[in-house]
Structure 1
Amino acid sequence: MTDAALTIIHTESSLGWGGQEHRTFKEMVGLRKQGHRMLLLCQPRAKFGARAREAGFEVFEVRMRNGVDLPAVLKMRAIFRRERVDVVNTHSGRDSILAGLAGLLAGRLVVRTRHLALPITSRFTYTTLPHHVVSVSEHVRRYLMSEGVPASRVSTVYTGIDPAAMLLDGPSDLRASLGIADSARVVATVAILRMKKGHRFIVEAAPRILAACPDTHFVFAGDGAQMANLQAQIADAGLASHIHLLGLRRDIANVLAGSDLFLLPTEQEALGTSYIEAMAMGLPVVGSNVDGVPEVVRDGDNGLLIEPGNADSLADAVIRLLSDDALRTQMAQRSRALVSSLFHVDTMCEQMLALYRRLLAQREAA
């Protein structure tokens, strides 16, 4: 088993496409390149399933009606046996119960990945069903251990990105498209417009920042439930000429390449892939001192940490960086170095494969 190609099936009960699906997809792509057979089991009409099929992966669909859907468990067990699966990696609540149980019944290695910094709702899907749990940050790992997962059964594997995927064919057209001068400073925020992401604190801090650095523009790339509230807040503050709501963008590299600084004052984050993408583009980053963010944003090294929910702390950090070209350059260099060493997709895939092989070897030796 040490050198043999593995058959690994990822399970996902969510119908949407977000950060955890993207991480799983990148692992599937990376390990397929190394010769492993990567499968996906999801629900009908799941966006992940469509994306995986487009990329040429084998996709199995099983309806997961609830957490006690025994017919779904039996279907999954049959798939795991028929396809000679070596590893079942579960991701969300419902599939972790159903596929976790099916994996145990089929005699397969069961691994669960925890992507979120939220409180867990079902301890046994971490302490009993899986043989091992993967956390996306040390913060999440420590939390899981506090909830009863033994230290020997939980490992951190940071989410990685592919810097090559962030390359542009030419210069960014962000500034030209918005009528922003080349000499202006652009502060970028890339995140879903959700309350916990903290966009409102940027709007609150903007007058102070503009008083110190008048030629500053803020761009928000993303869509979500807070769009109307932010539009109203920006209009009420008279900031429409300096805060640009871009909506959902597919050209994130283009947005980041046209910016001088990345800012995300999130109030909750397991790790923060958007920080890592900005770092790969060579940007200094400003993030909140909360959850797993300090593992990515190293205060005084590749960026600055701010007090969550504090517009004054946010303004101080942004003004400091916008006023110091040398410091931004130094932090930008550290950002690139950290991505190359810790947050590269190849590193993530290598660590996941090593973990699978180690766990399989332990089971064979037992």
Structure 2
Amino acid sequence: MRILQLVSCRGWSSDAYWAARVTRELERRGHDVTLGCRRGTERAVVDRARSEGVARVTTFEFASGLRPRADAADVRRLRRAVAGADVVHVHRGKEHWLAVVAARLAGGRPIVRTRHIVQTVRPHAGNRWLYGHATQLVVAVTEAIRGQCLAAGLVPPQRIVTLPGGADADVYRPAPANPEIRRSLGGEDGRPLIGMVAGLRVMKGHRVVVEAAARLAQQGLRPRIVFV
């Protein structure tokens, strides 16, 4: 199968990592996959994607906001790329809209959209059309995101699935505890050490960890909690 993956991230975010990993795994299974990234992100995204094992990368403008000239140029290039694909998989709003237009000009191709963040999509007429009619499948990386899309009436239940993100078992394997690392994080003998690795953004849930720590403290439990 010929698959076109599109991601407009400006940096190496979870969206970009997810797109690169999916591209690599599909390639390993014998599919012909091209990853389309934002122009100007060669060092931040493209090189990282290649280091993850992605073989074929191309770039588009994917300019922020509504940029008629740049968007029109992208649609023309995307039309040619989409015409050579069996499926188009998009990861953010910018490429979602551009890919839908390009696919229609190319005679129609299935569009798959992955939602990566717990941030409500505004259910205005444009988004209802985009998700409910112009997109054949929506993938949510958590059940919470799937629930948001359903509650907003963006897509029928049979056309949205949950596919949780995973860790690369070839890279992330349990290893013996390292006392030096534990000490560098403030760990103490006999006291649990809990770590959270995430950007400091509301949607990541740091508040939940703080509230949980307060409840534990009420029960006399005071683990060391580290935000990384």
The equivalent of 1:133 in structure 2 is 138
Cα distance, 1:56 vs. partner?
4.1
* Conservation of the 8 A alpha-carbon contact between 1:110 and 1:132: yes
The residue matched to 2:36 in structure 1 has which SS? strand
The residue matched to 1:149 in structure 2 has which SS? coil
The equivalent of 2:95 in structure 1 is 95
Cα distance, 1:169 vs. partner?
5.7
User: Is the radius of gyration larger for structure 1 or structure 2?
Assistant: 1
Alpha-carbon deviations, 1:186-221, whole Å to 9, x = none? 12222112244454675674697298246x322111
The aligned amino acid for 1:73 is: V
* Conservation of the 8 A alpha-carbon contact between 1:101 and 1:129: no
Match runs of 1:1-366 below 5 Å: 6-46=1-41, 47-54=44-51, 55-65=53-63, 66-67=65-66, 68=68, 69-81=71-83, 84-106=84-106, 107-121=108-122, 122-146=127-151, 147-167=153-173, 170-172=176-178, 173-178=180-185, 180-199=187-206, 205=213, 209=217, 212-213=220-221, 216-221=223-228
Cα distance, 1:61 vs. partner?
0.8
The aligned amino acid for 2:197 is: V
* Conservation of the 8 A alpha-carbon contact between 1:44 and 1:63: yes
Equivalent residues, number: 213
* Conservation of the 8 A alpha-carbon contact between 2:185 and 2:226: no
Cα distance, 1:73 vs. partner?
0.5
Query: Structure 2: which 5+ residue stretches go unaligned?
Result: none
The residue matched to 1:145 in structure 2 has which SS? helix
* Conservation of the 8 A alpha-carbon contact between 2:87 and 2:110: yes
The residue matched to 1:155 in structure 2 has which SS? strand
TM-score with structure 2 length normalisation?
Answer: 0.79
The aligned amino acid for 2:201 is: R
Alpha-carbon deviations, 1:277-334, whole Å to 9, x = none? xxxxxxxxxxxxxxxxxxxxxxxxxxxxxxxxxxxxxxxxxxxxxxxxxxxxxxxxxx
* Conservation of the 8 A alpha-carbon contact between 2:142 and 2:163: yes
TM-score with structure 1 length normalisation?
Answer: 0.52
For the aligned residues, what is the CA RMSD? Answer: 2.8
